[in-house]
Amino acid sequence: MKRSPARLVIALSVAAVLAVFILYTAIAGNATTQLSPSALRGATGHVALIGMVVGKPTGDSHSVAGMRFRLKDVSGTSSARVLVDYHGSVPDLFKPTAHVVLSGRLQNGVFVADNGSLVTKCPSKYAPANSKKT
């Protein structure tokens, strides 16, 4: 009894289509542009803003007016600062000099963050481990 190669061709075709779909979604499916405060000027659309908190935040993140704070480049090579308007939960590690990531849009020179999009990064977590040889 000889089986038709059509079943094999169909199965391989379906597998190839699924592989292309997975590859496409991994590469281009979540394409949110990540910018620092110095690169934010003139940006349009929805972006992720990465920076370091400068100074003390004002307001309350759960009030109608929201919480406002400034961000600068993490690298510190630019003097650019951007004012952020944020509403939502504030992580425990949020403080001046904290490295943060927010998503939102630039509107009239103010970065209006999406509700609840504030995430803090722990710089020491990404620093190389100190190796002491004794």
1 pLDDT band, cuts 50/70/90, is low
Tell me what pLDDT residue 124 has. 58
In angstroms, the CA 24 to CA 7 distance is 26
DSSP 95: S
Tell which residue, 71, 36, 78, has the closest CA to residue 54: 71
Helix (H) or strand (E) holding 49: strand 47-59
Q: Per residue in 33-56, pLDDT tens?
A: 888 999 888 888 889 999 999 999
Residue-wise burial string across 61-74, b where 16 or more C-beta atoms lie within 10 A, e elsewhere:
beeeebbebbbbbe
**Domains with residue ranges and CATH for the chain:** 33-125 (2.40.50.140)
18 pLDDT band, cuts 50/70/90, is confident
Q: Per residue in 54-70, pLDDT tens?
A: 999 999 888 888 899 99
Q: Per residue in 69-103, pLDDT tens?
A: 999 998 878 888 999 999 999 998 899 999 999 99
Predicted TM-score of the model (pTM): 0.67
